[in-house]
Structure 1
Amino acid sequence: MRYFQLSFSPRSPRLVGCSGSTSPQRSGTPERGMLSFRLHPQNETMVETLRLSFNADESFPTMLLSENVFCDESSSMQLPVEDISQVDNAPTEAEVTSSVGQLCGMLEKLQIASDGVSVTESGKPEERTPIKKETDTTIELFYYPAGKPVSSEENNEALRKAGEIFERNGNKVTFEQMADVCHALSIPVYSKRPIFNNCVCNPHDESLTFDDLEIFWKRMTAVAHDEAARFVFSLTNGSRSYAEFADFAPLVMDIVETHPSLDFLKADPRFHKAYVETVTCRIFWAVNCSWSGRITAAELRRSNFLEELRKLETADDVNDELDYFSYEHFYVVYCKFQELSSGRDCLTSDDLAQYSDRALPDLVVSRIFTEAVARGPHNEESVTKRAIITYVDFVYFLLAEVDKSHPSSMKYWFRVMDLDEDGCLSLHEMKQFFDAIVEKMTAASIDAMCFNDVICLLFDAIRPRSSTFITLSDIKRSQMSTYFFNNFINWLRYFLQETSEGNERVGSKSELSDWNLFCEREHQFLTAENSDDDDDFDENYNDNTHDVAFECARFLTDDEDPSPE
């Protein structure tokens, strides 16, 4: 059995030439025959393969059609006829040419359908299922920056439920009734202050009408479709696609004024600003991963902030919420600031250098007083040293210093150490910071490891992709950020880390984060320290801790102590 292969177009093919020949016999090789088929199709977009087979003693071939193949142009193929000389009664060259001529005549007479049909051994067309062309389909949208659109029926139903509240109250509701309106609209209750402010025409109005709410609701639902997008719209009144630091003040103040566990704080307005700033700092610390100083709806969706905000609606105590609103955490931060500021509303570099018994090297303190760690865009000119840092700057510093395993802490300290701001910590940069640590340890008469040994240990722990520098992604991937930054930021933490028994891995996982453990320990210490009896102090922080904060509060007062007349 010998096989020939012929390419042709299924659309009215026209065979324009063919020939057959035998090659001269070479030494040690059998004589081979060669057939050349040339086909000129009218449609050159698709070519099928026709396999022909015949026995040596047959004068006419039997046709078989194989699987479809595709090409862009007509084919000219030369196919060998193996071992013609070895077959009994093998056809001569003239006979082969004659057979090819018969084949050509047969192909010219063969009417092949335009979609191509297979031919069986008997020469009859084989039934084939036509290939259906795929119809054009529209790909469903999957990216919704403002949330997946909500049906107008759903939005109208929410507005109708809110309208029933207005009907029961003479078409007007006061701010105290806005919680019910928020429930009807299925939005967080503590969004009520920003929404109320956006609906009223006059900032001094004490009530709003249903028409006011309807205008705002339709304006918001036209462009914001999910909870995150609507939250940003509520804070900004639709003026921006992101929320800035100051936009959160009305919301947090509403928590101070209306949450039952903060009645004691509501009575003392001098602490309102500090609490609002502390909570807002913690929101940006956890949510604003881009470090832009602008919280977008996308960042809110990736965070747990809206979930925790809703939990406040049923929480009896804000201290049960550890991520953002805890008063105990605010109290610890505020007292730490007062210890350094001596009652002022800012810190100098000398003030910050006193932190943790002067554990921070001067190089670290100097870098904190630049714009390197400031959120938002900055240029080369903005990294010049500042004379002071504010309470907000200190909150960010303390969050970063206490818990170096937090993603924002990693970025904070990486920015501090990245002196040339090229996104990499070079060996030269790391050596500068480690030399500052060694200087502190030498002053305390403590021996330190040499830099080369420290770098070998760090590269083994971090396993960076480069052998000459370390990137932020390397540190995050290693899950050894606390261990890494302690070598360069705080000499006391570095010393304790290197001398801990059992070489305990720093940053091991526990139920509470390093920040929560720190605040819990510091709050207990501060409360006991200011109690009349350390062994039997009042556990009710609402009295004792606030008294302590009241005593050390200075910078929130509008006026200093009045001078004697």
Structure 2
Amino acid sequence: MTLQVYSAMSSMSPLLNVIPVTSPERTPPKSPCPSPRRPNNQFLSKIPEYLNDVPRPLGDSPDEAAVLRVGIEQPLEEFDTPKSSKISKSRLNRITFLDAPDTYEHPVALSFSEDSGTVEDEIPKAMNTGIKPFYVRNGGLMPSPKLDSFLLRLKSEFASITEFVGPLGPNTFKRVARLCSLPSFVGCSLFEAVEKFTGDAVVTFESFEKFYRAMAAENNDLPSKLMYILTTSIHGRPQKTLKMGDFFPLFTHVIRLHPCFSFLHGFVESINSFARVSEVLAFFTISGRSTISIPQLRASTFCADLLKLDDETINSEDVDMLSYIQFYVIRAAFEKDMSMYFTLMYDDLLNYDNGGFNGELIRRYIQQFGSKGITITDFAVLMFAHHEKDHPSSVRFWFRLCDLDDDGYLTFEDLYPLYRDIHFKMVLQYKNFTPISAGDYLLKAADCIKPIDNIMTMRISCGDIIKSGKAEEFFDYFVHAWNAHALEATDDRRSWEEPQSKWRVFCEDKYAFLQEEDQQCRSSANPAPKLDDDGVTAKDGDEMVSLDVIETLRSYGFFGVST
């Protein structure tokens, strides 16, 4: 029942103040449930009083369409929504704001068409310029309009290529790779990836478009696209990691087609061996394992080296990934001591580098490969780890070999047998060498990593060696006898050295030495013909100068079989 209560001052006022009052017995009880917390959002704070859970098609009224464009056509403070408009919570959640493509200046709001009900991109006309777009690491994905326009331009290029070249093949895809902002030598792998991804016998623009749209939907930078292409071209479907053997087709293609490797054309065995050694060193330097992930590929210089190869005037020495100098040095050292089965055994490795290697470490390394010995790829890893001990992969390599009990720490029990082997070789080789006790020797080596008071309680982890920055000096005490003697002879061996790759310096110096030795051998191996008393060319026999390592490589087929 509603009562009309008149004010006492009504007679003094020209206006009558009527206050409607609800009867106390009819007052509705308060709800026991507290009201839900309103979201802390400027847009949602204007809407809750008009919400209704009655479902109906979105965009029925002009008022609702205006609500969906809040923040686009006018500021939120100036917008006034009629109370008759009702929007459900479920439909309100569909109002989302997306990241803007790189061609737009502001975020893009999705508006729903009243006629067709489809989602359309609407470019903001007047938004607050103080709001910055979201930062996407490694760049965002290509937006659909930009991808469509790119493929439309590429379609005309496909038509011109097929018109002048004919049917598309692995070699003609070099131009397509350049148009896609990829290294040109990835073209062969790109062709095979499209062929295996679509399963078509003939690669057309339609099949390439299908593959490229699938790749662009998941990958946004060169390392991720390169992994997508290489894994698809070999395994038939994209994978998240590269495995040993995935680089081999790419490296073989580069060696066969790049002008700086033209002297190897026709020598199939040398090309394959070159590609295998380069692939193993790439995996060892990038990840140190038999797999490579996308973050590891981004952190390496692999993609930059591939882009360098687009310059046809570049030399192989400028590309660390495919350096012919390091391959030449590795193969020359390997085939000098290899057995008849083209492998190196335990005794062969002990004699390498004048017998300076620690016998215990060589035994542990060669045990992994059984009785057949190690191949040239395994020997390449050993040589790189020996001459580049500061590399993180080399540190982990030598740490696992030095950890004799495999407990994850280097202790006195691990290093004492290594000390005995190195110390014995130094005493035999250098007559003036003064023997050093095991305690003093191990303490001096451990001081390179961290101070240790008692050698019996020493525990050194792989992380300690990497953090110290003196991995090369530490491992030289236990890996190679002649390097250990050089540390004992000089107080600070690094004071005069330049901060550059020692592996590269070693390869360049060794390559220059082998080249000079090769020239001397050529001049001495081809003297003027000698005639005997009968006028017949005499056989040189023991009088001929013995061939050096370069001629030995030729006798073992270093230059392969010409095809």
Give the alignment's TM-score, normalised by structure 1.
Answer: 0.64
Structure holding more strand per residue: 1
C-alpha contact 1:344 1:555 (8 A) present in aligned 2: no
C-alpha contact 1:199 1:212 (8 A) present in aligned 2: yes
Q: How many Å apart are 1:417 and its aligned residue?
A: 0.5
Secondary structure at 2:344 match in 1: strand
Distance 1:271 1:493 in 2: 33
User: Relative to structure 2, which stretch is displaced further, 160-169 or 359-368?
Assistant: 160-169
Once superposed, what is the RMSD of the aligned Cα atoms? 3.6
Residues 1:308 and 2:296 aligned together: no
Q: Which residue of 2 aligns with 1:476?
A: 466
Q: Which residue of 2 aligns with 1:109?
A: none
Q: How many Å apart are 1:223 and its aligned residue?
A: 2.3
Residues 1:512 and 2:500 aligned together: yes
Structure-2 change in CA distance of 1:554 and 1:142 (3 Å)? farther
Q: Which residue of 2 aligns with 1:160?
A: 152
Structure-2 change in CA distance of 1:215 and 1:259 (3 Å)? same
Q: Which residue of 2 aligns with 1:438?
A: 423
Matches within 5 A, 1:42-61: none
Distance 2:297 2:197 in 1: 30
C-alpha contact 2:476 2:484 (8 A) present in aligned 1: yes
C-alpha contact 1:332 1:523 (8 A) present in aligned 2: yes
Secondary structure at 1:225 match in 2: coil
Aligned residue among 408, 412, 417 for 1:423:
408
Distance 2:212 2:185 in 1: 17
Q: Which residue of 2 aligns with 1:278?
A: 277
Deviations 1:284-325 (A, max 9, x none): 12211xx33111111011111101110111152442324211
Q: How many Å apart are 1:272 and its aligned residue?
A: 1.2
Q: How many Å apart are 1:330 and its aligned residue?
A: 0.9
Q: Which amino acid aligns with 1:300?
A: L
Structure 2: gaps spanning 5 or more residues = 1-33, 35-95, 100-132, 525-547
C-alpha contact 1:345 1:554 (8 A) present in aligned 2: no
Distance 1:509 1:179 in 2: 43
User: Relative to structure 2, which stretch is displaced further, 211-220 or 406-415?
Assistant: 211-220
Q: How many Å apart are 1:205 and its aligned residue?
A: 10
Aligned length: 400
Q: How many Å apart are 1:226 and its aligned residue?
A: 1.8
Matches within 5 A, 1:484-563: 484-500=474-490, 503-506=491-494, 510=498, 512-532=500-520, 551-554=554-557
Deviations 1:318-352 (A, max 9, x none): 42324211111111111111112156422111111
Structure-2 change in CA distance of 1:147 and 1:436 (3 Å)? farther
C-alpha contact 2:426 2:481 (8 A) present in aligned 1: yes
Q: Which residue of 2 aligns with 1:355?
A: 352
Give the alignment's TM-score, normalised by structure 2.
Answer: 0.64
Residues 1:229 and 2:224 aligned together: yes
Structure-2 change in CA distance of 1:217 and 1:402 (3 Å)? same
C-alpha contact 2:155 2:205 (8 A) present in aligned 1: yes
Structure-2 change in CA distance of 1:150 and 1:272 (3 Å)? same
Q: How many Å apart are 1:547 and its aligned residue?
A: 7.3
Residues 1:215 and 2:210 aligned together: yes
Distance 2:554 2:197 in 1: 38
C-alpha contact 2:286 2:300 (8 A) present in aligned 1: yes
Q: How many Å apart are 1:481 and its aligned residue?
A: 1.1
Q: Which residue of 1 aligns with 2:58?
A: none
Secondary structure at 2:203 match in 1: strand
Q: Which residue of 2 aligns with 1:321?
A: 318
Q: How many Å apart are 1:469 and its aligned residue?
A: 1.1
Q: Whose radius of gyration is greater, 1 or 2?
A: 1
> % of aligned pairs identical?
23
Q: How many Å apart are 1:421 and its aligned residue?
A: 2.0
Distance 1:257 1:549 in 2: 25
Q: How many Å apart are 1:261 and its aligned residue?
A: 0.9
Matches within 5 A, 1:95-494: 148-170=140-162, 172-200=167-195, 208-237=203-232, 238-288=237-287, 291-342=288-339, 344-371=341-368, 386-444=371-429, 445=431, 446-463=433-450, 468-494=458-484
Q: Which amino acid aligns with 1:264?
A: F
Distance 1:457 1:142 in 2: 50
Deviations 1:139-173 (A, max 9, x none): 999887x9743323343344334322211133743
Q: How many Å apart are 1:239 and its aligned residue?
A: 3.5
Q: Which amino acid aligns with 1:190?
A: F
Structure-2 change in CA distance of 1:504 and 1:553 (3 Å)? farther
Distance 1:549 1:338 in 2: 8
C-alpha contact 1:281 1:396 (8 A) present in aligned 2: yes
Distance 1:549 1:161 in 2: 56
Distance 1:507 1:332 in 2: 28
Distance 1:187 1:424 in 2: 44
C-alpha contact 1:287 1:295 (8 A) present in aligned 2: yes
Secondary structure at 2:172 match in 1: helix
C-alpha contact 1:349 1:387 (8 A) present in aligned 2: no
C-alpha contact 1:162 1:184 (8 A) present in aligned 2: yes
C-alpha contact 1:424 1:472 (8 A) present in aligned 2: yes
Distance 2:302 2:365 in 1: 28
Q: How many Å apart are 1:138 and its aligned residue?
A: 11
User: Relative to structure 2, which stretch is displaced further, 340-349 or 394-403?
Assistant: 340-349
User: Relative to structure 2, which stretch is displaced further, 197-206 or 232-241?
Assistant: 197-206
Structure-2 change in CA distance of 1:213 and 1:489 (3 Å)? same
Q: Which residue of 1 aligns with 2:25?
A: none
Q: How many Å apart are 1:203 and its aligned residue?
A: 13
Structure-2 change in CA distance of 1:522 and 1:158 (3 Å)? farther
Distance 1:167 1:220 in 2: 22
Q: How many Å apart are 1:438 and its aligned residue?
A: 1.4
Secondary structure at 2:483 match in 1: helix
Distance 2:216 2:508 in 1: 42
Deviations 1:192-245 (A, max 9, x none): 121111223699999732122112212222222221111111111034211111
Q: How many Å apart are 1:465 and its aligned residue?
A: 8.8
Q: How many Å apart are 1:524 and its aligned residue?
A: 0.5
